[in-house]
Amino acid sequence: MWARSLAVSLVAGAACALAGAVGAGSANADVTPFIVGGEDADQEYSFVVSLQNSGNHFCGGSLIEPEWVLTAAHCVDGSSPGSITGRIGSNDRTQGGEQVRAAEVVVHPDYDPTGAGGDIALVKLSAPAESAPVSLGSGTGAGTQSRLLGWGQTCPERGQCGAPVQLQQLDTQVLTATECSGIDGGTELCTDNPGGDAGACYGDSGGPQVVQAAGGWELIGVTSRSGNGDPVCATGPSIYTSAPAYADWIGRQTGT
Judging by beta carbons within 10 Å of its beta carbon (0-12, 13-18, 19+), is residue 109 exposed, middle or buried?
exposed
With a pLDDT cut of 90, the percent of the chain lying above it is 77
For residue 233, being part of any structural domain is answered with: yes
For residue 16, being part of any structural domain is answered with: no
Q: What is the pLDDT of residue 37?
A: 81
- pTM (2 d.p.): 0.88
Same domain, 106 and 125: yes
Q: List pLDDT tens digits, range 5-33.
A: 444 332 222 222 222 223 333 333 333 33
Same domain, 80 and 157: no
Q: What is the pLDDT of residue 13?
A: 25
Band of residue 211 on the pLDDT scale cut at 50, 70, 90: very high
Q: What is the pLDDT of residue 173?
A: 97
For residue 39, being part of any structural domain is answered with: no
Same domain, 214 and 203: yes
Paired residues of 146 in beta bridges: 172
Same domain, 120 and 161: no
Q: What is the pLDDT of residue 50?
A: 97
Catalytic residues: 74, 119, 205
Q: Where are the alpha helices (DSSP H) in the chain?
A: 73-76, 247-254
Q: What is the mean pLDDT of residues 188-204?
A: 93
DSSP string, 7-65: ----BTTBTT--BT--STT-S-SB--PPPBT-EE-SS--TTEEEEEETTEEEEEEEEEE
Q: What is the pLDDT of residue 167?
A: 97
Q: What is the pLDDT of residue 5?
A: 40
Q: What whole-number distance in Å separates Cα of residue 53 and Cα of residue 50?
A: 10
Same domain, 153 and 234: yes
For residue 19, being part of any structural domain is answered with: no
Same domain, 52 and 84: yes
Same domain, 141 and 233: yes
